[in-house]
Amino acid sequence: MNIEATELEKAVLIKVTGRMDAENAHEFDQACDRWITNGTKHLIADLDGLQYVSSMGLRSFLSVAQKLQSASGSLILCGLHGLPRQVFEMTRLIGVFPVFETSQQALATL
Amino acid sequence: MDSPVRRLTLPASAGSISTFSEFVRDGAIAAGVAEDELGKLDLVLEEILINVARYAYTPETGAVEVAYAQAGPSKLLVEIADFGRIFNPLAADPPDLSRGLADRQIGGLGVFLVRSMVDSIDYRREADRNILSFIFPIDGSPAGG
């Protein structure tokens, strides 16, 4: 898994590529925690390049989103497709997170 | 099991998951599982193996054996066995998927995903071993939906 963060005007865009699994999901938490600690309110996770996510990854997304919500912020997802999208749909997390096709659409809501 | 059984034993730890995954993928590909379904097989194996490492063995460690064989023309039978304490992951209550973000529980989704992706799954305790056996569909659509 590779994580690349870009600071934008209203949010931080976090591009996640590869496989998010039991061995590396904590890296996503850590990357997000650094931004949350610095006062970032909105994180947009661009998951276009995400090929695989297991329940450990879902756990990370939920935990980050709950932290942001309690700080009056949000975790917005975009680019979900393939197996990761199926996993989010099966667990009905699509309705729990704001989900957009593209990061531009996500940014437009902020 | 209709075809020869293949077995692999490794330490029950997150670090063994990718090796087990490669091992079972060989059998899945030979049995005709489509390339784009292999991620689901990886996910099922990861969720089960993480549970074994976390609940059957913690705080001690131990070995886990994964065995597979083709069972009939359109099914792959996989068995995962450990020597840890009695632990049936299928006995857990299903997660409440109707809750919003603030109340969503963070655990319990792994077993739910496993059940969604296999045709059937069973637990048995046999000779001091926990054995989870599941049937993975070769045509890509679990019979149970």
Residue B144 has pLDDT above 60, yes or no: no
Query: ipTM score of the complex?
Result: 0.92
Min distance B39 CA to chain A CA atoms (Å): 7
pLDDT for B27-46, tens place per residue? 999 888 988 899 999 999 99
Helices and strands (H and E) in chain A: how many: 4, 6
Tell if the pTM clears 0.95, that is, is over it.
no
How far is Cα A68 from Cα A96, in angstroms, rounded to an integer? Answer: 13
**Would you give the DSSP letter of residue B38?**
H
CATH number assigned to the domain covering A2-108: 3.30.750.24
CA triple B39-B43-B48, angle to 5 deg? 155
Show residues of chain A in contact with B39, CB under 8 Å.
51-52, 82-83
pLDDT for B85-111, tens place per residue? 999 999 988 899 999 998 998 888 999
Question: What residue ranges define each of the domains in chain B, with the CATH number in brackets?
Answer: 6-137 (3.30.565.10)
Q: Provide the residue ranges of all domains of chain A, joining segments of one domain with +.
A: 2-108
How far is Cα B40 from Cα B73, in angstroms, rounded to an integer? Answer: 19
Comparing CB atoms, the residue among B39, B46, B112 nearest residue A83 is B39
| B120-126 β-sheet, strand order | B6-11, B63-70, B75-82, B129-137, B120-126
Show residues of chain A in contact with B47, CB under 8 Å.
54-55
Taking only residues 58 to 97 of chain B, the set having a beta carbon closer than 8 angstroms to any beta carbon of chain A reads 95, 97
With CB atoms and an 8 Å threshold, state whether B104 touches A96: yes
